[in-house]
Amino acid sequence: MQLHFYRPLSSAPSTSPPSEPDLTSFHSFSFDPSAPDYTSLLSDELLLNILSKLPISQHVSNSLVCKRWLHLHGRLVYSLKVADWSFVTSGRVFTRFPNLTDLDLVRACIQMPKSSGIIVTHKTMSVHVDTHFILDGFLEETALLPSNAVDQGLRMIAGKYPNLQRLAATGASEEGLLRIAEECPTLQELELHCCGDLALRGIAGIKNSQVVKLMGFIGVFYNSTISDIGLTLLAQGCRRLVKLELCGCEGSYDGIKAIGQCCQMLEELTLSEHRMDGGWLAGLSFCGNLKTLRLRSCKSIDKSPGADEHLGSCLTLEELHLQGCQIRDKQSVKALFLVCENVRDIVLHDCWGLEDDVFSLTSICRRVKLLSLEGCSLLTIKGLELVVLSWKELQRLRVMSCNNIKDTEVTPELATLFSVLKELIWRPDSRSLLSSNLAGTGMGRKGDRFFKRSKD
């Protein structure tokens, strides 16, 4: 949890008198407000086609020319993040931006002052809060819009944007999501914050959804529960899923198995801060088309993975990413690599407890072509060498900010491997790199050695 306080910078007043503006460069420019506006001779369709050819960075400034250009600019906007819920309920968003296909309502569903200089950050999200915010409570108890208000807004959106392709909302219930499913047949991407099992019954009607992100329990923000019931409802309703991200979700083997059996097109699965029961890893073997598995900020991989012979494996899995995870438990780490034994790419960033004996378990995967290590400060050159030399198909190696790996300890065998790799990024010890760059400058030395008294 991080608190950020922003204060506007104020410059000291100048003591010199203000200078007169130099208007000499404008003498040759003549502006006649009574001159005809030749753009009025163009039809809306032609002018809209001209404005669409301009760079996107100029769209906002072009919309300030006149009311007509402002109206045409709104027709060119297809993606919008709403910060004020009244912008939706008043209907202004539909008049101002009639062609939206991507709508984000997450910030608008949180009743906090957007002008506040206090921002609470918790890994996956940031929220503006006021001075009365209590860290012991949850946003859904004090600051979130009631579900009936969110559902009312979703009904309005469903009626005005039938071509909607992406929607992000907070605190929606089954009723509002059912209306979206009925009126928006082209919806493909859905992001739901603070939703429970019952709300997921509403997205069962979104037959064309391909990307879904669900956020359940998140720190002091959300206290909602997504269990095997919700995961099963999701799996049975969204059978065309290609990418699924679960943040703070509960569940077990049954929920993951249901997703694997029903969502046969699923290619990417991400679990962030998961609260899964023991044994969920075995459910991954039912994901017959899974290519990428990501674990982020997980306090444990699997509390009780069970016997090795009952785990199974993902035959199609190609990439395994672990970021900010605790991997001290050798049994769960071993179970993970047994399930992912066919991976080609292994990415380990800022993982806690990655010692040599834990890292040696990656040798279970025999077909690795890419290894990326970053922020793994407990791993030594000996542990790294034992594993990478056993991989006969290794082609790319990236080692960054692993301060326990020293350049001076590289063996001739490891150097030979480096010479045949297609890609090598080797910046393991940032301290030694810094000291080598500062050599001869006098910087980086202790004060009692750098500052010497002059003898009178």
Residue 349 amino acid letter: H
Query: What pLDDT does 110 receive?
Result: 81
Under a CB-based contact definition with an 8 Å cutoff, are residues 265 and 244 in contact? no
- Answer whether residue 57 shows pLDDT above 90: no
Mean pLDDT of the 43-69 span: 75
Query: What pLDDT does 61 receive?
Result: 74
Query: What pLDDT does 317 receive?
Result: 95
Query: What pLDDT does 205 receive?
Result: 79
Which run of H or of E encompasses 118?
strand 118-122
Residue 100 pLDDT class (50, 70, 90 cuts): very high
Mean pLDDT of the 416-445 span: 70
Q: How far apart are CA 22 and CA 411, in angstroms?
A: 69
- Answer whether residue 26 shows pLDDT above 60: no
Q: How far apart are CA 336 and CA 315, in angstroms?
A: 13
Q: How far apart are CA 431 and CA 316, in angstroms?
A: 40
Average pLDDT, the chain: 82
- Answer whether residue 298 shows pLDDT above 60: yes
Angle at 438 between CA 437 and CA 443, to 5 degrees: 165
Query: What pLDDT does 443 receive?
Result: 46
- Answer whether residue 333 shows pLDDT above 90: yes
Q: Tens of pLDDT along 307-328?
A: 988 899 999 999 999 999 999 9
Q: Does domain 118-438 have CATH number 3.80.10.10?
A: yes
The residue among 361, 410, 412, 368 whose CA lies nearest residue 391 is 368
Q: How far apart are CA 396 and CA 383, in angstroms?
A: 18
Query: What pLDDT does 70 receive?
Result: 77
Query: What pLDDT does 66 receive?
Result: 78
Query: What pLDDT does 18 receive?
Result: 44
- Answer whether residue 347 shows pLDDT above 90: yes
Percent of all residues in the chain with a pLDDT value above 90, rounded to a whole number: 54
Residue 405 amino acid letter: I
CATH top class, domain 43-76: mainly alpha
Query: What pLDDT does 384 receive?
Result: 94
Residue 83 pLDDT class (50, 70, 90 cuts): confident
Angle at 153 between CA 148 and CA 158, to 5 degrees: 120
- Answer whether residue 149 shows pLDDT above 80: yes
Residue 9 pLDDT class (50, 70, 90 cuts): very low
Q: Is the pTM of this model over 0.85?
A: no
Tokens of 222: 């959300």
Mean pLDDT of the 268-272 span: 95
- Answer whether residue 6 shows pLDDT above 80: no
What ranges do the domains of the chain cover?
43-76, 118-438
Under a CB-based contact definition with an 8 Å cutoff, are residues 363 and 343 in contact? no
Q: Tens of pLDDT along 119-145?
A: 767 666 667 666 665 555 555 556 778
Query: What pLDDT does 266 receive?
Result: 95
